[in-house]
Amino acid sequence: MIRIAKPSDLKDIARLSQILQKMHADNFPAFFKATPDDAAFCAWFKNVIEEPESLVLVATDSDTMVGYLYAKEERKSESWVT
């Protein structure tokens, strides 16, 4: 099932994020930091979930979260090509 994330999903999102962040940090340490602790990640991501320009979806299998998607609309300043 895919649904919109809610604050009660933060710990499961943090768990999944740590897996990905560790893989990035292990393979590309010049570009990625080690995983933050859960409390720091959850505090940051709680704000993300509440931003109107953000979309966070979670995928569950039964009651287990198996994935998430984070998208954010960003408006760029006008440039010579836009």
Residue 22 has pLDDT above 80, yes or no: yes
Q: Residue 60 pLDDT > 90, yes or no?
A: yes
E strand or H helix that includes residue 60: strand 54-61
Mean pLDDT of 5-34: 91
Q: Is 50 a residue whose pLDDT tops 80?
A: yes
Q: Which amino acid is at 76?
A: K
Residue 13 structural domain: 2-72
Task: Name the domain count of the chain.
Answer: 1
Q: Is the pLDDT of residue 15 over 80?
A: yes
Mean pLDDT, the chain, integer: 90
- Residue 12, classified by CB atoms within 10 Å of its CB into exposed (0-12), middle (13-18) or buried (19+), is middle
Instruction: Let me know if residue 77 belongs to a domain.
Output: no
pLDDT of residue 78: 85
pTM: 0.79
- Give the dihedral of Cα atoms 56, 57, 59, 60; nearest 10 deg: 90
Position 82 in a domain: no
CATH code (residue 10): 3.40.630.30
